[in-house]
Amino acid sequence: MFVSSKKMCIYMEGALDNDSGKMGFGLMRFSKHPIVAVIDSKFAGMTVRQAVGLPYDIPVFGAVEEGVKQGSEIIVLGIAPSGGRFPSEWDEPISTALKSGLSLINGLHDDLNARFGHLLTNKEQIIWDVRKPAGAYPIAKAKAAELKSKRVLMIGTDMAAGKMTAGLELYAALKEEGLKVGFVPTGQIGITLMGNGIPLDAIKVDQAAGAVEQAVLEQSDKDIIIIEGQGSLAHPGSTATLPLLRGSQPTHMILCHKAAHSHLRYPVSHVPIPPLDEFIGLNEAVAKVCGSLHTAKTVGVALNTTGLNDSEAMQKVAYAEKLTGLPTSDVVRFGTDKLVEAVLH
Q: What is the CATH number for 283?
A: 3.40.50.300
275 in a domain, yes or no? yes
Domain boundary among 70, 101, 129: 129
134 in a domain, yes or no? no
pLDDT at position 292: 67
148 in a domain, yes or no? yes
- Cα(230)–Cα(331) distance, integer angstroms: 18
89 in a domain, yes or no? yes
pLDDT at position 187: 94
Residue 70 confidence (pLDDT) above 70? yes
Q: Are residues 78 and 178 in the same domain?
A: no
Residue 270 confidence (pLDDT) above 90? yes
Residue 311 confidence (pLDDT) above 70? yes
Q: Are residues 198 and 335 in the same domain?
A: yes
304 CB-contact burial (10 Å; exposed 0-12 / middle 13-18 / buried 19+)? buried
pLDDT tens digits for range 194-251? 999 999 999 999 999 999 999 999 999 999 999 999 999 999 999 999 999 999 999 9
Question: What CA–CA distances, in Å, run from 80 to 20, 76, 106, 188, 212?
Answer: 5, 11, 10, 9, 22
Q: Are residues 189 and 243 in the same domain?
A: yes
Q: Report the domain count for the chain.
A: 2
pLDDT-wise least confident of 49-63, 72-86, 254-268: 72-86
CA 287, 291, 296, 302: dihedral to nearest 10 degrees? -50
Q: Are residues 175 and 322 in the same domain?
A: yes
pLDDT tens digits for range 175-189? 999 999 999 999 999
Question: What CA–CA distances, in Å, run from 245 to 122, 259, 313?
Answer: 43, 24, 30
282 in a domain, yes or no? yes
253 in a domain, yes or no? yes
Domain boundary among 79, 103, 129: 129
- Cα(57)–Cα(35) distance, integer angstroms: 10
Going by pLDDT thresholds of 50, 70 and 90, the confidence category of residue 165 is very high
pLDDT at position 1: 67
Q: Are residues 208 and 61 in the same domain?
A: no
pLDDT-wise least confident of 253-262, 289-298, 301-310, 322-331: 289-298
pLDDT tens digits for range 4-25? 899 999 999 999 999 889 899 9
Domain boundary among 70, 104, 129: 129
Q: Are residues 187 and 264 in the same domain?
A: yes
pLDDT at position 80: 82
Q: Are residues 225 and 91 in the same domain?
A: no
Q: Specify the 3-state DSSP secondary structure of 128.
A: strand
Q: Are residues 313 and 231 in the same domain?
A: yes
Bridge partner list, 301 = 255, 328
74 in a domain, yes or no? yes
Q: Are residues 16 and 115 in the same domain?
A: yes
Q: Are residues 89 and 188 in the same domain?
A: no
77 in a domain, yes or no? yes
Mean pLDDT of 88-92: 95
Closest CA to 26 of 191, 165, 184: 165
Closest CA to 219 of 185, 182, 165: 182
CATH number, residue 15: 3.40.50.720
Q: What stretch of H or E contains 226?
A: strand 224-227
Tell me if 247 sits within 8 A of 295, measured CB to CB.
no
Q: Are residues 151 and 123 in the same domain?
A: no
Q: Are residues 183 and 223 in the same domain?
A: yes
Going by pLDDT thresholds of 50, 70 and 90, the confidence category of residue 86 is very high
Of all residues in the chain, the percent with pLDDT exceeding 90 is 91
Range of the domain at 104: 8-129
Tell me if 76 sits within 8 A of 15, measured CB to CB.
no
